[in-house]
Amino acid sequence: MDIRTSIENKNLEIRVSAVIIRNNKILLKRSGKKSYMFLPGVNIKIGEFSEESIKREIYEEFGEKTLKVTLAAFTESSKLFGKNNSHEICFHYRVEFSEDSYLYIYDEIKVKKGYKENIFKWTDVSELEKFSIVPEYSKEIIRYSGKGILHINSIPGNLKNILSRRYELTIAFNSTYFNCRAVGIILKNNKVLVHREINEKNFWTLPGGRVEFLESSEDALKREMAEELSEQVIGSELIFIEENFFERRNNKFYQLGIYYKTEFDKESSIYNLDSFTIKDDTQREIFFKWIDIEDLENEPLFPEFLRRELKNITYEPKHIKN
């Protein structure tokens, strides 16, 4: 089942796209008689990692197996194929094939799916401005040659106000929930701030909360820090994009965790406390504590990758699969 749904007649889709470049040309797709072109892609299916989704789509579309896939960009957008007031989260992978792949031979490839014909055409990267390509930021992704993962957010800060109420991105698809969480990595003197419910003894997590429909992960982080800690975020930097499958309380989850190094005003009282307790909006008591990063291997911090990766933060976004 695809991770896609409609909320108040507005679409949510979790997708992948293929950035296939060779000899300074990009392979773009046109579907049927549409006037615009776009990067080949597909919705992620519940139960798949995004990398598995792009490999599946490439094989189903072209009958070709990929030689190499590398996450190049991660985007959050309020437009879906030109439609406004949507919510699209997309992983964009650079895709390479073997040297003898037929895709590298032809200037144009036509693929029929049922009654629809899709046309794939190699287009010179230097001539992208001549073409209508959606979404518009696709051109930035195609031209991107930097190290690490490009993060693009084009969701306006007040967009979710058009809805009648707030909707968290925790959505059931058959027996598995898709969950999207924005997380703060709050550091001081080689320590990280963790929290747990006051009666929970089995694990710690980092502060954060669920992203809401029509809200960017960065705005969700700022909202959660204000609601939970009464703190204003003055600096945030994307560190990890995590895909995680896990079970909790007899429920299965595919969680997308978006982790930001988070800074408050240097005079914030939080930096002066060893530990503290707050009540959340449901009156649960939440216990916060600073833990030395060097001691994380001995702490039940989840997801487990944090015990390792927090020791070696590179400050370039990193893709984690659990």
Q: Which of 18, 94, 32 is nearest to 62 (CA)?
A: 18
Give the pLDDT of residue 262.
98
* pLDDT tens string 2-20: 999 999 999 999 999 999 9
Distance of CA 291 to the CA centre of its chain: 27
160 inside domain: no
Give yes or no: residues 97 and 201 share one domain.
no
58 inside domain: yes
Q: What does the buried/exposed string (b/e) look like for 92-117 if buried means 16 or more CB atoms within 10 Å of the residue's CB?
A: bbbbebeeebebeeeeebeeeeeeee
Give yes or no: residues 204 and 266 share one domain.
yes
Give yes or no: residues 57 and 174 share one domain.
no
311 inside domain: yes
Give yes or no: residues 42 and 147 share one domain.
yes
158 inside domain: no
Final residue of a structural domain among 86, 119, 153: 153
280 lies in which domain range?
167-321
Residuewise pLDDT in 10s, the chain (322 residues) = 999 999 999 999 999 999 999 999 999 999 888 889 999 999 999 999 999 999 999 999 999 999 999 999 999 999 877 678 899 999 999 999 999 999 999 999 999 877 788 999 999 999 999 999 999 999 999 999 777 899 999 999 999 999 999 999 999 988 899 999 999 999 999 999 999 999 888 899 999 999 999 999 999 999 999 999 999 999 999 999 999 998 877 889 999 999 999 999 999 999 999 999 998 878 889 999 999 999 999 999 999 999 999 998 988 899 999 8
Give yes or no: residues 207 and 309 share one domain.
yes
Give yes or no: residues 21 and 119 share one domain.
yes
Say which residue the tokens 């989704």 belong to: 53
Here the CATH number for the domain that contains residue 248 is 3.90.79.10
Give the pLDDT of residue 315.
82
Give the pLDDT of residue 5.
95
Give yes or no: residues 212 and 313 share one domain.
yes
Give yes or no: residues 37 and 138 share one domain.
yes
Give the pLDDT of residue 93.
97
198: which DSSP letter? T
Give yes or no: residues 194 and 134 share one domain.
no
Question: Which tokens go with 257?
Answer: 């965790």
Give the pLDDT of residue 32.
80
* pLDDT tens string 55-93: 999 999 999 999 999 999 999 999 877 678 899 999 999
Number of separate domains in the chain = 2
Give yes or no: residues 128 and 197 share one domain.
no
Give yes or no: residues 136 and 217 share one domain.
no
pTM for the model stands at: 0.95
Give the pLDDT of residue 256.
98
Sequence-separated (6 or more) residues with CB below 8 Å from residue 183: 206, 207, 208, 221, 257, 258, 259, 260
Give yes or no: residues 76 and 137 share one domain.
yes
Sequence-separated (6 or more) residues with CB below 8 Å from residue 298: none
